[in-house]
Amino acid sequence: MNNIFDIIVIGGGHAGIEASVAAATMGRAGTKPVSVALVSMDTRSIGRLSCNPAVGGTAKGHLVKELDALGGVMGVIADKSGLQFKMLNRSKGPAVWSPRSQNDKDLYPQYAQELVLSTPNLSFVQGSVVEILVRKDSVRGVKLADGSELVAQAVVLCGGTFLNGVMHTGLCQTVGGRFGEQAATGISDMLASYGLEKGRLKTGTPPRVALESLDLTKTEPAGGDEPPLPFSHRTASVQNRIMCYSTYTSAETHEILREGFEQSPMFTGRIQGSGPRYCPSIEDKIHRFADRDSHHIVLEPEGLATNSVYVNGYSTSLPDDVQLRGLRTIPGLEKVELLRAGYAVEYDFFFPFQLRFSLETKAISGLFFAGQINGTSGYEEAATQGFIAGVNAVRKVRGEEEFTLKRSEAYIGVLIDDLVNKSTEEPYRIFTSAAEYRLLLRQDNADRRLMKYGHALGLIDSATHERVLEREELTRQTLDFARTTRFRPAEINEYLAEMNEPIISEVSSIEQLAKRSQLTLKPLLERANWQASIGQQDMTEAQALALATVVEQAEIEIKYSGYIERQMKEISVFAANEEKKIPEALDYAVIKSLSTEARQKLTRIRPQSLGQASRIQGVSASDISVLTLYLR
């Protein structure tokens, strides 16, 4: 076996897939290819959906769309294996619309494995890494359990929940990273010996139940969108193939589950790690929200060729007999059969303040961390980190400048900026509320924002990039048309009256009218023969779909123009502060007017700019004023 590579990626989860495929693929873009090895314990575990077989969700869907615009692969795999597609939060503004898909738990890893194993310049190595080899604070490869060594200039560690992983069900503990798979031991302690600070977190998964044991007549159907929309720009169309079902727990459910609290690893202290606050276990919800008599449960089929159903909302590590008794009090689950009990998994992570924005560790040159090892939760958060780490591993090997995204450019930028600058006391999950500029960072304009970077990295082909540029030009033309085309009262008042909108007494532009709550842009454009003016009369189905996207983009920009202008001004201030660089070797101890906490945080994180310093938890506005004066 060849044992010399440019880059080694450890772990075949969502972070590992994106890191290895991006690294191997961008190496073919007019430069000498890099050789990549993906090391995993088992080929069959690549891309496994260890918790909910779903992709996307609130803000998570934004990450998938951004990843796709950059040239990542999660969106493509999700589209191919998708069973039900839905755009969440449609009742709210476009800033928080988020795509989500329910996926086949067998097809997703199958397509992921096919992709990985067919990617040129990417070799799969089956084995368990027991040591990361370091010389003079620089990575030089890895050592496997069989004693063999792989040599590389950069290593991307995507450890998932496997680093010293322990699974809990009631008082029963099993060493492992997830059901049926062994843990990775030794690496955490080895990295800690280099001064990297580690902690302990936990996550969990609900029970799986048999479809034929459910009485779905007692539940409410929860279908997908029609027509369903794909994640990826590379997917022509998708279809809904399953129905999910909604039900609720009851006071009786909660009473039964409380009986098991004395055997809960959470409440008995067996689990030391913090769990995700925004995706709590059912026992945590009952404990924290004691005044609530019920909690929402969604029954989600796990695939077309399985009878397994995922009980979303019932994540638990209670004893399996207590889990089953509680389930049987839920409408539709009175005779339910348990296929696999829920469990919690506790694992090591490394505090991400020890990373650069490229996700390279500060302590060991050439070593990158991605995914749950950085204290995050979720497939999508892991995948985007894997992509950034893989791209920067290539740039490290080539001696190029690191690739990063600002929080004003992408949710990926928000995610990494939050990880580096804020303390990690629980698994981090992305939310739309975390993005100050969320009206600009919508899921629908991810390609407009980011495809230029994917093209520059060699991960988006020129034809695809050109189509986005053409669409951007059409959007500009449409906005210009809306601003300059005006209706006289006699031409539009009858239509306004039909739409229950006040009539006009003077000439008004399409842009002015489109801001009204009852009016949409497309009918106004059509009344003014807009398609002829921009040369788009005779179109193919694909062109018509692209034009519909153009109209949607233009309408959002018109209706939210005031807010967008305000956010653009805020970004100008943000960018100015990002340009004010802080010397890496600055001694914060000599700046006497800084608060003690600020001095400690700034010394530990070593921000690259004044803007970054201002976002560090514990650094106040007065501390930033002091630092600004000192830097001047």
Condensed to tens digits (0 to 9), the pLDDT of residues 108-164 reads: 999 999 999 999 999 999 999 999 999 999 999 999 999 999 999 999 999 888 888
Tokens (6 digits) for 406: 């600002």
Q: Are 155 and 8 in contact (CB under 8 A)?
A: yes
Threshold 0.85, pTM exceeds: yes
Tokens (6 digits) for 5: 């590579």
Instruction: Tell whether the model's pLDDT for residue 249 goes beyond 90.
Output: yes
What is the gyration radius of the CA atoms in the chain, in angstroms?
26
CATH 3.40.140.10 is held by the domain 462-563: no
Question: What local confidence, expressed as pLDDT, does residue 365 receive?
Answer: 97
Q: Are 608 and 586 in contact (CB under 8 A)?
A: no
Q: Are 100 and 13 in contact (CB under 8 A)?
A: no
**Peptide bond before residue 227 is cis, with ω within 30 degrees of 0:** yes
Residue linked to tokens 């022509």: 236
According to CATH, where is 2.40.30.260 located in the chain?
208-346
Question: What local confidence, expressed as pLDDT, does residue 351 receive?
Answer: 94
Instruction: Tell whether the model's pLDDT for residue 170 goes beyond 80.
Output: no
**Which CATH architecture is the domain 208-346 placed in?**
Beta Barrel (2.40)
According to CATH, where is 1.10.10.1800 located in the chain?
462-563
According to CATH, where is 1.10.150.570 located in the chain?
580-631
Phi and psi at 205, nearest 5°, equal -145, 150
Give the model confidence (pLDDT) of 491-514 as tens digits. Answer: 999 999 999 999 999 999 999 999
Q: Which of 122, 114, 185, 180 is nearest to 156 (CA)?
A: 122
Instruction: Tell whether the model's pLDDT for residue 542 goes beyond 90.
Output: no
Mean pLDDT of the chain: 92
Domain 580-631 class? mainly alpha
Instruction: Tell whether the model's pLDDT for residue 269 goes beyond 90.
Output: no
Question: What local confidence, expressed as pLDDT, does residue 29 receive?
Answer: 60
